[in-house]
Structure 1
Amino acid sequence: MGIRRIAAAVIGAALLYWGYRQFGWPGVAAVAGGLVLWMLLHFTRLMTVMQRAARRPIGHVDSAVMLNSRLHAGLPLVGVIGLARALGELMSSEGEQPEVYRWTDPGGASVQARFAHGKLLDWGFQRPEADAPTER
């Protein structure tokens, strides 16, 4: 369990305690309602991203150049899937860390990204090999 999850649980418990101390059981109900709303917003965002990705072929992106320009270190895998609007093609062995995914556009350009524990470490952009010029 990551430090962020532990911190979120501790903050949630502290908010529930604060609600009880300030307003009694109605305060607990109000804080619990706010926490449930927050969790539902995140769940809805995740489901929207995954529904969009389900409609596209795995590893396909409209423009690898645009995807490359919008990436930054630390971006979660769900965020990259949302930008690409497609699941990435898994290039590493399943369960291996770091995970490597690739997205390719119709022109043959691709973005290959490495993720450690769901966070973007680094990425590379590769253009298709230019065909040899023909003599006339």
Structure 2
Amino acid sequence: MQRVLNASLAVAALMAGWMSMKWLGLVLAVTVIAFWMVLQFNRASRQLRNVADRPKGMVDSVIALQSRLGHGMSMADVLAISNSLGQRVEGTNGDWMWRDSYGNQIVVTFRRGGVERWAATRTDSSAPAAGVPAKTLPTAAAA
């Protein structure tokens, strides 16, 4: 949806530029579109720089991450709320996993550029430990 909107706005800017000032308007529209693309690239680079400082696949709280997830969120949105790059789950195409220091983990499935579903597994202990029996939290399935 976002791609269609961006393409439509770019075409509209080009048409408006051409209709208002011919070649000068077209050059102005191309300049504005290029500037917008540089701004978007800068935003993505800044976000990746911010999450690169944290350990890969680690979050402060899986439960907090799970409560903020929503269907259709992009990977950029998930990176913004998790503040960490996820770890790709081996053997899957669009599954990414995050863990916290208590042993809880969440696996988020991305399809067509957005969150389709997620499943959190939570340990029964509140102290950071490994090997504690875990229980699975309710998963969010796509409607």
**Superposition pairs of residues 1-136 of structure 1, within 5 angstroms:** 5=3, 8-9=6-7, 11-93=9-91, 96-97=92-93, 99-130=94-125
Tell me the TM-score normalised to structure 2 length. Answer: 0.76
The alignment partner of 1:125 has SS state of strand
Aligned-residue CA RMSD (Å)? 2.2
**How many residue pairs are counted as aligned between the two chains?**
127
Deviation string, structure 1 residues 45-80 (Cα, Å, up to 9, x no partner): 111111112111111011212211111000011211
Q: Distance in 1 between matches of 2:4 and 2:115?
A: 21
Unaligned runs of 5+ in 2: 126-131, 134-143
Q: Say which structure, 1 or 2, has more relative contact order (CA 8 Å, 6+ apart).
A: 1
Percent identity of equivalent pairs = 27
Tell me the TM-score normalised to structure 1 length. Answer: 0.79
Q: Distance in 1 between matches of 2:84 and 2:76?
A: 10
Unaligned runs of 5+ in 1: none
Aligned residue identity for 2:102: G
How far the C-alpha of 1:92 sits from its partner, in A, is 3.6
